[in-house]
Structures are given as structure tokens and as C-alpha cells.
Amino acid sequence: MSVAGKRILLGVTGSISAYKSALLVRLLVKAGAEVQVVMTESAQMFITPLTLATLSKRPVLSAFVTSQHDRPGDSSWNNHVELGLWADAIVIAPASAHTLARCATGFCDDLLSAVYLSARCPVFFAPAMDVDMYHHPTTVENLRRLESFGNHIIRAEYGELASGLVGEGRLAEPEAIIQTLDAFWTGSRDQHLLAGKHVLITAGPTQESIDPVRYISNHSTGKMGYAIARAFAKAGAGVTLVSGPTALNLPAPGIRRVDVRSAQEMFEATQVAFADADIVVLSAAVADYTPAYPADRKIKKKEAVFSLELTQTIDIAATLGAQKRPGQLLMGFALETDNERENALKKLHVKNLDWIVLNSLRDLGAGFGHDTNKITVIDKEEQAHEFALKSKDEVAQDLVSLVLKSL
């Protein structure tokens, strides 16, 4: 594993998820990493320093100089500058809402925040909190600020929380955190290989108006497309993201996002960016049909049966495939429920794509709304690359790797 031989400073903060830090330390040590744990005072209410010291084989650090008599060598004295220089990576897991706010605004009132401000290495934040705290505008903004500073966010997972609520906010599993670190160091060799390349990505659903109040849409959240945009940006590419309506924030600093609503608007936006694009990834769930005659006023409920005449929307993938110039790479998506491979191959060839990314609603954890996906990528020679169920960020990295290999 790529974490072997790395020096990891693990920051543990006050969250019920702190119990997972024991397994994270154990897995990191087992993978060959050196681990130094730094705990906040509140973290010690959830898990004892002795547990993490035993697993890491190092004393757990948690205090600043506590009096003028403390000196280097005393157990209570810790040099945050040396710790910041020692680490190959800092991983703050769990990162509470309080710690995120402290680091995002530069507050420095404990050892962990001082180490963070002194660090010259990559820093990874793995947030953990209740769903409403995670989606609160202040937390969203703090995560955005931290990412804009060049830090890495390991997104919270969806599931049942300690409060009994169900939603996003669960700490990423220790295995997923280690996979993120592995992917970072494995991918660091390729970090700038797409510099100078322009990538056009479509993401999210479209909305087709029936009247000023109602529309036809689908269950796409845009998570997959936004993860792809983030992965290409991290690989050094210039990214234009044409996005249908989503609740997602900009995936990474520097990405140019164009917001659209309808299939026609998405087509027009992609046409503008297509000519200069080296790589095109069409991951949006575009409506196949749109109302032929949308009403300009709200349609009132009268008849027991109501008919709506629909007309086909323009096929963005087929249109761009017909316009594709030599050297331009085009990747499409196919979400299928029946005859998956047969339908995907048909789209691949008819639309002149270089790859088709197939996922099936039959696969648990794949498709709309999930933080995970399970894909099979088929190239124009009909060679299939099958991938296991992974987080959408990891799936996005797999797609970037395929593009890099083809280049």
C-alpha cells in the first residue's frame, strides 16, 4: 500500500465517531505507516488516549505548554512546528464541526489547530456530525474554505446517525480513509499529466417544464458528475462543468460551472464549450422527452385523466459524437435496467463514443442518490473494465486513470 513508510499525524476530535479512530490507527500501522495521534480535549471524553497510544505504539499528544516551567523533554510540552514538519500527511478524523470552524478561520487554541497551521504536508479532513449540522450553511462554507486552501475533504457518508436520524454525516469508514490516502499518493505521479487539457463534463438532471409550476425530471443528484469534475481538476485539467439543478457546491476551486435547467439549455451550453474540449464526459441524466406545448399558466385539475404530449429532446451525446474531431475523447454514461451490456454497446457505437460507462439499477449501492457506484467501462474495441462498488470519488479517479492510460 502507498501509506507504507509514511508518517501520518492523526487528529482525533470530539465526536461520537472517535471510536472509529482506534480501527483507523490499527489499519494504518498494519499497512506500514508511522502514526502519531494528537487528541483534542473533548475527544478524550469519547475514547481514552491509552487505547490509541497502545495501538499506535506512541504516546498520544494533546497539550500545549501548560506553564512557564514546561520545557522540551517534559511530557506536557509538544512542539507543533516539529510535528507539522514531521508528518507526510495530517488526517483529522473525525473532524467535528467545531474543529472545522476553528481550522477554516485560523483559530489556534489547542495543539491540533497549531499543528494544522504549521503543516507543510497534505491535510485531510474527514467530517463527522449529525445530518443537520453537516448541511448547515456554516459547515458547508467551512468545508468549502478548507478545500479552497488546498486541503482534502473525505466526505461524510450516508446512513443512520447516533441521533437516530438517517442522512449524511457519518464518518467515512477507516478502510475508505486509507483508500483515499492510497489514491492520493498513487495518483500524485499523475497530478499534472492533464495540465493544459480542457475537460467538459455534464452532470445532474434536467427539468422539462409542463407549466410554470411543474416539470418532468429524474432522480439524479449530480454526485457522480461532480466527483468526476473534482478528479479531473486535481489531475491538473481545466474543467468546465455544465450542471443541471443540484444542491451541490462547486467541486473544487478553479472549475468553471455553467448552470442550466432544461435539456435544450444543456445542449446549448455543451455546444459552446465542446469546440475547445480535449476530453468530454457526459454523465448528466438528460431527459429524453420534453412537453411539446408547455403551458404559460398553471394547469388546473379538472379531468380525471390528463394527457401530456411529449416530443424528443436533442441527443447531446450523438450530436457531439458526430462533431468529434480527431484526438478528441468522448465518454458517455448508460444507466440500464435490462439488457445492460447490449444497450450500452449500442450507445457506444451509434453515438461514436470512446467509452461508455455502464451502471445498473440492479446493483445495490449504484445509481442515483448513493455516495457509491459500481461501474463497467467498455471502450470502442469492446474491451470491458469492471470495477467493484466504490465511493463515487474513487470511481471518478478510476475514470481519470483510464483517460490517462489512453493518452
The residues annotated with a catalytic role in the active site are 218
pLDDT for position 187? 60
Question: Among 17-31, 53-67, 264-278, 329-343, where is mean pLDDT lowest?
Answer: 53-67
Question: Among 133-137, 211-215, 232-236, 361-365, where is mean pLDDT lowest?
Answer: 361-365
Confidence of residue 27 (pLDDT cuts 50, 70, 90): very high
Provide the whole-model pTM.
0.58
Domains of the chain by residue range: 7-188, 191-406
Please tell me the distance from the alpha carbon of residue 400 to that of residue 229, in angstroms, as a whole number: 10
> Looking at the domain 191-406, which fold is it?
Rossmann fold (3.40.50)
Q: What percentage of residues in the chain have a pLDDT greater than 70? A: 93
Answer yes or no: is pLDDT of 7 > 60.
yes
pLDDT for position 372? 85
Please give the biggest Cα pair distance in the chain: 85
Confidence of residue 180 (pLDDT cuts 50, 70, 90): confident
pLDDT for position 192? 62
pLDDT in tens, 193-212: 787 889 999 999 999 999 99
Domains 7-188 and 191-406 share a fold: yes
pLDDT in tens, 303-323: 889 899 999 999 999 999 999
Answer yes or no: is pLDDT of 362 > 80.
no
pLDDT for position 394? 87
- Give the CATH class of 7-188: alpha beta
Of 171, 101, 95, 180, the C-alpha closest to 140 is: 101
- The reply to whether 392 sits in an annotated binding site is no
- The reply to whether 405 sits in an annotated binding site is no
- The reply to whether 6 sits in an annotated binding site is no
> Phi first, then psi: what are they for 72, rounded to 5°?
-55, 135
Could you tell me which residues are beta bridge partners of residue 167? 159
- The reply to whether 288 sits in an annotated binding site is yes
- Greatest mean pLDDT among 190-199, 316-325, 359-368 lies in 316-325
As a whole number, mean pLDDT of residues 22-37 equals 95
- The reply to whether 347 sits in an annotated binding site is yes
Of 180, 182, 150, the C-alpha closest to 5 is: 182
How much helix, strand and coil, in percent to the nearest 5, is found in the chain?
A: 35, 25, 40
List of residues 6+ apart from 334 with CB closer than 8 A: 340, 343, 344, 347, 356, 357, 358, 359
List of residues 6+ apart from 351 with CB closer than 8 A: 315, 317, 318, 321, 332
As a whole number, mean pLDDT of residues 282-307 equals 93
pLDDT in tens, 50-92: 999 999 999 999 865 333 344 444 444 468 888 888 999 999 9
